[in-house]
């Protein structure tokens, strides 16, 4: 940890793949440059082959090598993960039971491995810094977007994870989010029923309202409005669980989250992006009782309570 950021020490990551049918009979270099142009330039491939970082069936890949059936390709790459804004992970822990850990996830930290992040994740950081929490890796039973802060449930074993996932699927888990949105959000409770479909914009994965999308419903209610900042604090309850659902529905209403640049927010500033969006409350029963109430800092609100 340095200056409020967690830096992962660079490490060698081995990417493996068996030859796909469409690769057979084609040169390795041609396949990689055509299918992975963003990372496999001809110049990089030449350096990787010369250094022995590209291997076929455990042996260095030579220029002109051709894929054969059942070939195993290995790419040994030095990974340098982006830093994430994170404090001592023991400070994240809100509550613990025999089968469950509740943490207050910081914004910018992804929940699990994805894309550029393999060690700077909630699961990876807790495993490295708090190995006593579980005998093996913790199991996230739901997810929060990387830029979203707030409360996250982690099961301590596979059985507990299955039970929690079943409870979520059965509608026994109720989640509340607090968002600081641009403008004066209208008073009253508003139910947004707008289907969502996936798309790509400027290299970033995003979703959009579309009549051909999957059903998505969010209930929103304004808590307060700050004229000086022209921001409204909105309580959101998702009735479905689509990716980016609340962020998109708020933007669709004309009130994007203030620092959510992907969906129209105009107040994004580097690592603080989406700090105005927080998973602030979840209610669930465990073992016939409720989880004890706990306090957690929430970016737009003063506190978050689990009951």
* Residue in 145, 259, 260, 278 annotated catalytic: 145
Question: Collapsing DSSP states into helix, strand and coil, what is residue 84?
Answer: strand
In 3-state terms the chain splits into helix, strand, coil percentages (rounded to 5) of 20, 35, 45
Torsion (CA) 109, 112, 114, 117 in degrees, nearest 10:
50
Cα–chain center distance at 297? 20
CA distances from 134 to 51, 97, 129, 139 (A): 39, 11, 12, 10
Phi-psi region of 58 (alpha: psi -120 to 50; beta: other; left: phi over 0): left
Asked whether the beta carbons of 296 and 151 are under 8 A apart, the reply is yes
Q: At what angle do helices 42-50 and 28-35 cross, to 10 degrees?
A: 130
Longest dimension (CA), the chain: 67
Per DSSP, the residues of 111-161 read SS-BTTBSSSSHHHHHHHH-GGG-SS--EESS---TT-EEEEEEESSHHHH
| Whole-angstrom distance, CA of residue 275 vs CA of residue 104 | 13
Catalytic site includes residue 3 = no
Per DSSP, the residues of 206-251 read EEEE-TTSB--EEEEEEEEEETTTTEEEEEEEESS--TTHHHHHHH
User: Would you please indicate which residues are annotated as catalytic (active-site) residues?
Assistant: 145
């Amino acid at each position: 940890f340095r200056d409020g950021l967690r830096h992962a020490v660079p490490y060698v990551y081995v990417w493996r793949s068996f030859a796909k049918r469409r690769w057979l009979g084609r040169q390795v270099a041609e396949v990689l440059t055509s299918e992975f142009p963003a990372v496999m330039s001809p110049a990089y491939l030449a350096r990787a082959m010369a250094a022995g970082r590209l291997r076929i069936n455990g042996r260095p890949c030579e220029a002109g090598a051709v894929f054969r059936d059942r070939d195993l390709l290995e790419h040994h790459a030095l990974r340098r993960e982006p830093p994430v804004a994170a404090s001592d992970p023991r400070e994240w822990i809100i509550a613990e039971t025999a089968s469950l850990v509740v943490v207050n996830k910081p914004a910018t930290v992804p929940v699990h491995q994805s894309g550029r992040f393999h060690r700077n994740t909630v699961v990876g950081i807790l495993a490295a810094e708090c190995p006593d929490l579980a005998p093996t890796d913790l199991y996230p039973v739901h997810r929060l977007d990387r830029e979203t802060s707030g409360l996250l449930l982690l099961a301590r074993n596979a059985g507990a994870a299955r039970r929690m996932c079943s409870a979520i699927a059965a509608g026994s888990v109720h989640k509340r989010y607090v968002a600081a949105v641009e403008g004066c959000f209208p008073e009253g409770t508003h139910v947004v029923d707008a289907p969502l479909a996936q798309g790509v914009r400027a290299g970033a994965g995003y979703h959009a309202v579309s009549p051909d999308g999957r059903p998505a419903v969010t209930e929103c209610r304004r808590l307060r409005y700050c004229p000086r900042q022209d921001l409204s604090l909105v309580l959101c309850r998702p009735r479905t669980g689509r990716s980016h659902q609340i962020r998109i529905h708020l933007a669709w209403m004309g009130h994007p989250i203030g620092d959510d640049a992907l969906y129209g927010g105009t107040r994004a500033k580097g690592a603080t992006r989406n700090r105005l969006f927080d998973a602030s409350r979840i209610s669930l029963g465990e073992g016939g009782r409720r989880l004890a109430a706990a306090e957690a800092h929430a970016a737009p609100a003063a506190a978050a309570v689990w009951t």
